[in-house]
Amino acid sequence: MAEAAADLRQAPGPAKPAAPTLAAVPAASAAAPASPTPPPQPTPAPQANGGGSFIVVRDRFTLYCDRPIPSLDMPNALAYEVADRKQEGRPLYALVCKPEMPARISVMRTLKGLEIPAVLHMVDWGVAEWPPVDRKCVIVIYHRPMGGRVMDSMAGSFKRVPDHQFARAIIKPIADGLVELSLKGIAHRAIRPDNLYYMDEQRTKIVLGDCVTSVPAHHQPVVLETIESGMALPSGRGAGSYPEDMYAFGASVLMLAIGRNPMQGVADAEITKRKIQVGSYAALVGDERMPVALIECLRGLLTDDTEQRWQATNIDLWLNGKRLTPIQAKAESQAQRPLRFADQEFHSIRPLSYAMYQNWEKAIQIINDGTLEVWIRRGHEINDLADGIAMAIKSTYAMSGNKNDADDVIVSRVLMLLDPKAPIRFRDFRCYIEGFGGSLAIATLRKQKLQVFSDFINRELWRHWIAAQGGKVHADNQQFEGVFRDLKNYLKDPNSGAGVERCVYELNEWLPCLSPLIESQYVMEVKGVLLALDSMSKNANTKLWPVDRHIAAFLRARYAKGTGAQIDSMNDPRPDRATIGMLSVLAIVQWRLGPAALYGLSGWVGGLMGPVINSYQNRNKRKDLEKEIPKLVRKGNLAELYNYLDNPEERQCDAEGFAWAKAEYAAAEKMVYDFEHGQVDRQESAIKLGRQTGTVAATLIMFVTFLIVLMGKLL
């Protein structure tokens, strides 16, 4: 996605703005009657809070930084006025996402430009420089709902919607809209009364609001979430699916029918407890008097059995007057004799499971002493479950060397067996495996401790949860086994390109690179990394490498085939090879993805090549490198710089020359040693003696030869 350009300029006045230019736009209209020209006034500089300025998003939408719309703010995004350059007068507004929360980029890409019934129309989105925080942010452009919110806040009350408007004006269109979203593979996961809007000023048309400015269901109150989703941390609920949306829709309709939140002021844990004990419908309705016409629909939408929960087809039948079979809650197994735990008595398993989670330290007692296993065998006659608990205890203690750690894992595993539909619970950490990535991303963005995430992976809690699921659910989650096995391997690797940083990017496809070097540039794609580093090079600490652990992990996750070998060489323990490896990482990305020139980044990298220069043994070669590198840096081509510094022929020549020099040095050193130890005089004496002996021997041979010849002639 090409990131949107943004321009910070002096804001136009209240009159209709003309086509913006690079110059400041005067506040007064240019068409004013002729009058004496007043002396020019100094143009005030844009304030730190964005006052008196605007930006342009995607070269089309003028977003006014000094015109907020608090009534349309979202928990993770602030609303501002927007003007469309191509369609003047079009009612729009923008949501500027806060940087500490990942946005649902994949959903934005799908929803952009689509008009779905009863869903707020997303016109466009982009990434632009946002002056109030001095960094780039995700900005989403929506059609503006002219009637405002249906409910200002979940804590407030409002005029209830008349009964006769529910069926055709609210239930039918929103149900159809949820079906359309589902067909496109999207779960809304932000359905609540304070995220419903009236599109018209007459307040007759209700639509679902924004669902992309935060991770799924993060800001959903527990009262609007299913029992299972409500147990998880807001960041760990996962993308969810159509049935979760229908449940939230049913709970929202119930609140619209009575004009307020019936659970206002009740703690989240108590809400979940009541839902488990009596069912969601009974817990939410309580003593409220519900419109008779809606009771059947609400029972269908709020049933806790996902398979029985109403869909759009059920609503159509209901609207056409067909009576449907009342949803009967499946009765949970009841033990004749209760199990006493935490000063309470329990006859069924699920309420006990929730109580054990709330009393974590006490839970291990009834597990280890066999009380729980015996109660399940005798009270419920569920031998498979009892056997699973016994096996979990035995295997965990056998594999763990620390009793305290083993106790925590045992409690977690037992809770999975008692309530398989619930999220994975490990002390205060609670999440579904599909929500693990979003939760890890939020914790990383907020600079929180990540040890609990490492424990989640290393202790294989994910594997035990998958094993606790049955049938189709187990098969659907098999895909996660390979993913988490890879994550475990990444955590074992201490090198750059691995570790928890790699896990973050592997689990979040559109998460921007979180390196402190370029975090403010909101880089979501590999091709943007070098441009971001180049733009930040002016203010960066150029003594540090431009490839830190986050950038290495980002490249490895997003571009493994292109950068894997280079990142491996960057982890070489030898400083010169590691430095040339770092250069090769940047060079290969520039060579394959561009741009052609990176002057700032080249200067930064060129100043770090000291270990590479010093790795050459030839003194003259090092001087040549020091002279040539600045010339190559000025070209801005990292690939050319890499090829020059890591030329195999030059390396071989340098190595051979160094080997010859070492040999000469060794010979010279030996000669010095011989002189110092008198070995040279003995050698000369031996040579002199050898010469003398040779001379005598030659003379004797010559004399004998002469005698033989003479005797031959005389005889």
Q: Does residue 135 or residue 37 have the better pLDDT?
A: 135
Give the C-alpha distances (Å, rounded to integers) separating 300 from 181, 319, 516, 644: 20, 13, 49, 71
What is the chain's alpha carbon radius of gyration, rounded to the nearest angstrom?
A: 38
In percent, how much of the chain has pLDDT > 70? 87
Mean pLDDT, residues 165-193: 92
CA distance 550 to 554: 6
Q: Which of 165-174, 212-221, 298-307, 658-667 has the lowest mean pLDDT?
A: 658-667
pLDDT at 620 over 70: yes
Tell me the pLDDT band of 274, cut-offs 50, 70 and 90.
very high
pLDDT tens-digit series, residues 108-148? 999 998 999 899 999 999 999 999 999 999 999 999 999 99
pLDDT at 601 over 80: yes
Q: Which of 84-98, 326-340, 611-625 has the lowest mean pLDDT?
A: 326-340
Coil, helix or strand at residue 431: strand
Q: Does residue 413 or residue 11 have the better pLDDT?
A: 413
Burial of 10 (0-12, 13-18, 19+ CB in 10 A): middle
Where do we find the tokens 């205060």? 428
pLDDT tens-digit series, residues 297-326? 999 999 999 989 999 999 999 988 887 776
DSSP 549-618: HHHHHHHHHH-HHHHHHHHHHHT-SSHHHHHHHHHHHHHHHHHHH--S--HHHHHHHHTT-HHHHHT---
Q: What is the pLDDT of residue 670?
A: 65
Q: What is the pLDDT of residue 10?
A: 39
Domains of the chain: 9-27+45-144 (3.30.200.20), 149-319 (1.10.510.10), 339-502 (no CATH), 512-646 (no CATH)
Mean pLDDT, residues 368-392: 94
| Beta strand pairing call for 122-130 and 135-143 | antiparallel
Q: What is the pLDDT of residue 592?
A: 94
Burial of 20 (0-12, 13-18, 19+ CB in 10 A): middle
Side-chain-facing half-sphere of 667: CA atoms under 13 Å: 5
pLDDT tens-digit series, residues 327-355? 666 678 888 899 999 999 999 999 999 99
pTM for the model stands at 0.84
Cα distance from N-terminal residue to C-terminal residue, the chain: 117
pLDDT at 18 over 80: no
DSSP state of 41: P
Side-chain-facing half-sphere of 364: CA atoms under 13 Å: 17
